[in-house]
Chains A and B, each alone.
Chain A
Amino acid sequence: MSYCITVIAFLAALSASETVSAQTIHTVSPNGPFSSISQAIESAKSGDTIEVNTGIYNEHIVIDKTLSLIGVNEPNIDGGGKGTVVLIKAAGVTFEGFHISGSGESLSVEDAGIVLDSAQNSRIEENRLDDVLFGIYLKNSSGTMIRNNIIVGKDLPIPVRGDGIRLWYSSDTKILDNTIIGARDLVMWWSGDTLIKGNKVENGRYGLHYMYSDNNVFEDNLFIGNYVGGFLMYSNNIEFRNNVFARNQGPATGYGIGFKDLDDIVAKENMFIDNRVGIYMDNSPHSVDSWNILENNVIAFNDIGVSFMPSIERNRFVSNSFVDNTEQVEVRGGGTLAGNNWYLEGRGNYWSDYVGYDDDNDGIGEIPYKSESLFESMIDAYPNLRVFIFSPAAQAIELASDAFPVIKPEPKVTDNYPLMDFERPKRYEKGKYGFSARLFILSFLMVLVPAVSYLFIRKRV
C-alpha cells in the first residue's frame, strides 16, 4: 500500500514539475523573430520548443540541447552540398516535419542528412530527405524512434551512395513506416531489440544489411528492386512477419533474403517473389541446439526458391508454398538436405511441381514430394550447365532418369505430407488482366499474313 502511494506521489510530482517548467516556444521564420534555426537553438534552453515556419534555410544545424524542433509546412534546411546538414548531440530531441536536402558527398566522413550522435530517446518523424548521401545515421542513440520519414538518396552509382538509415550501437530503436528510395543500404550494426515495421526500401543495394544485432522484429516491410532484399549475419533470435521481398535481382547476388550464421530465426507469412534466389541459407543455424522456423511463407517465381550451402541442418520448413520457382530448392555443390524438416506432424509444404493425388480429401497428397531431378542435381554440381536449362536435352535427361531409376539422384528434399492447395495471401488478390488491344491487333496481323499469302498463291498458280 505504502509503495503504491509513493508511486502515485512520484507521478504527481513529475507531472507538476512538467507544468511548472512551462516550455518556451521560439519561432523561426525568414522574417523573424529568428531568421536562422541555429540562432534559435543558441538562445533556447533545454526543454524548449522551436517552431520553424516554411521557408528555405541555408545552414548546417547542431542541436546540443534537449529541444523539440517542429517544422510547420515543411521548411527546407539545405546544406548546400557540404557536410552533414543536421547533427543532433543531445538526448530526448524531437525533430519533426522538415525537408532536409543538400548534404556533402564524402563517404569517408559520412556526410548525412541527419546524424544522431549519443542522442538517446530522440524522435525523428515526418521528415523528407533528398539529395543526401546518408539519410538518417544513428550512433550510440538507443531508444530512438524513426517514423514516417521519406529518404531519397543522391543520384550516384550504387558503390558511392550512402545508407538510407544506419544504426550503429543503437538498440531499442523503432523504425516505422519509412520509405527509402535509391540509397545504398538500411544497415544495422550492434543494434538489438529493435522493431522495424511498415518500411519500404526500394532500388538500393541491400534492402537490409545487418550484423551482430539480436532479438529484432521485422513486420510488414517491403523490400523491392534492390540488389539484395536483406542480408543478415551473426545474430540470434530474429523474427520476420508479413514482409515482402520482391524483385531483388542482383547482378550476381539477387537474394530475396540471405542468412549467414543466424540462429533462432522465425519467419512467418512472408513473400519472396521474383528474386534471383528467394531465400539463401549459409551456415544457418550456426549453433547445434538452434532451429530456424519458416512457416506459411510464399516463395514464388524465383530462379531458385531456396538455395542452401552444403550440409546445412535444423531448418524447419512447414506450410510454405513453393510456386513456380525455376528450381525449387538448390544445394550448392550438390547433395541433399536431409537434416532439415520438410514436414511436421503430418503437414508439409505446397510444391507447384508436385504430381501426386489426394485420395481422402484431407488436403495432403498421398505420395511424398521428392525433389530428385537429375538435371537439377547436375546443375547444382556443375553450375556451368545451367546454360542448357529449358532445352529439350534437359528434358531428355529427366525422361531418361524417370525410365531408369538407377541413374536417379538421391532426393534433395523429401516431403511426406505435401499440401495440395496453395493458399494465396489474403491481402494480395490474383491480378486481373483486361483485353489487350495491342496484342490482339498484332496477332491479327500475324494471322493475316499466311491467309493473304495463301490466297495470293492459290490465285496465280
Chain B
Amino acid sequence: MDTKNVILIMKKEAGESLKNRWFILYTLCFSALALLVLLFSTMGGDIAGFSGFGRTAASIINLVLLFVPLIAIITGGVSISQERENGTLPYLLSHPINKNEIFVGKFLGILIAIWSSILLGFGLAGLGVALRGGQGEITGYLLTVLLSALLAACFLSIGFLVSVYSGKASKAIGISVFLWLLFIILGDLGIMGTTVAMDLGIKQVFVLALLNPAEVFKIASVLVLSPRFEILGPVGVYAVRTFGQQGVFYLLFSIMLLWVLVPFGYAYFVFTRFKKEEK
C-alpha cells in the first residue's frame, strides 16, 4: 500500500464530501440544533448552585444519536456503490492504484469530513455557551465529543460494508436507512419488548444492550455526563459493581472500537479479495 496514493484519495474524498450540498446542509442543521440545545439548557439556570442532568444531556445525546449515525452510514453506503454505478470505479482502478489504497483512502477521507462537521457543531455550540456564560463541565463535554466521533466511525464502517455489497447507490441508501432505523430505534424496542415479554434478568438486558453500538454510546455518554450511574437503574448499578466505574467505560469504549474495526476489516477483506470489479 502506498501512503501517497492513500492520501491522494483521502483528500479527493474529503474535498468532495465537504463540497457536497447535502453534507453542508446537514452540518449547518447539526450545529444550529446543538447551539440551541446548549443555549436553552443554560438559560434554565440552577437552584442554590445545583443544576440537573436531565434535559440538557438527554437532548445532546438524542441529537447525536439521531444525526451522526444517519449521515455516517449513508455517506459510507454511497461511497463505493456510487462510483460503481457511475462507472468511475473501473476508471479509477485502471490507474496505477490498488483497491486497498482506494478503500482506506475513501474511508479516511469521509471520516475526516464527518469529524469536521461534528467538531464544527460542538465547537459553535460551545462558543455560544462560553460567550453567554456557561457551566464548565469541560471533561464531560470533551468526552462526549470523543464518543460522538467514535460513534460516527462505527456507522461509517457499517456503511462501507453495505457499500461493498451494493451495485447501486439507491440500494445502498435503502439498506443504510433501514440499518439506521434498526440500530437507533427498532433494536432497542425489540429488546424492551423481549424484556417485558420474557421478564429478562439484569445480565441478559445488559448484554443485549451492549450489542448495539448506538446504545453503547448512549450508556457511555450518560456515565460521562452524570456523576451517578444509578440513573441507568439496576442494570447500571450491576455494570458498575461488576466492572468498576472506570472498567465500564473501558468496556464500552472497546465495544465501540470493535464496531469500527470489525465491519471495516470485513468490508476491506471482501472488497480487496473477492469482489471482482470490471476494468
Contacts and interface: CB of A to CB of B under 8 A. Distances in A.
A32 interface: no
A357 interface: no
Chain B interface extent, by class: 35 or more
Nearest to B61: A390
A391 B218 contact: yes
B15 A458 contact: yes
A251 B235 contact: no
A387 B233 contact: yes
B48 A246 contact: yes
B202 A384 contact: yes
A274 interface: yes
Given A385-B192, A385-B205, A443-B126, A430 B46 contact: yes
Contacts of A247: 50
B52 A442 contact: no
Given A251-B230, A298-B47, A384-B200, 16 more contacts: A246-B50, A249-B227, A250-B228, A273-B47, A301-B52, A303-B231, A325-B52, A378-B196, A385-B233, A391-B218, A393-B186, A396-B185, A433-B133, A435-B133, A442-B142, A447-B124
A431 interface: yes
A396 B219 contact: no
Contacts of B233: 379, 383-387, 389
B52 A274 contact: yes
A449 interface: yes
Interface size class of A (residues with CB under 8 A): 35 or more
A392 B65 contact: yes
A435 B196 contact: no
A386 B12 contact: no
21 contacts: A247-B50, A276-B230, A303-B228, A323-B52, A324-B55, A325-B54, A382-B199, A385-B233, A387-B232, A388-B192, A388-B215, A389-B233, A391-B62, A396-B189, A434-B133, A440-B126, A443-B127, A443-B129, A446-B122, A447-B124, A450-B123
Given A271-B47, A386-B236, A392-B65, A449 B130 contact: no
A5 interface: no
A437 B129 CA distance: 11
Interface of B: 11-12, 14-15, 18, 42, 44-55, 57-58, 61-62, 65-66, 112, 115-117, 119-120, 122-127, 129-131, 133-136, 138, 141-142, 145, 184-189, 191-192, 195-196, 199-202, 205-206, 209, 214-215, 218-219, 222, 227-228, 230-237
A387 B236 contact: yes
Nearest to B124: A447
B197 to A, nearest CB: 10
A136 B52 CA distance: 36
Contact of B44 (A324, A425, A447, A450): A324
Specify the main secondary structure of chain B where it touches its partner: helix
Given A385-B195, A386-B236, A446-B120, A439 B134 contact: yes
Contacts of A395: 62
Interface string A337-370: 0000000000000000000000000000000000
A12 interface: no
A431 B46 contact: yes
A392 to B, nearest CB: 5
Given A390-B62, A392-B62, A442 B119 contact: no
Given A246-B48, A378-B196, A435-B131, A450 B232 contact: no
Contacts of B52: 274, 300-301, 323-326
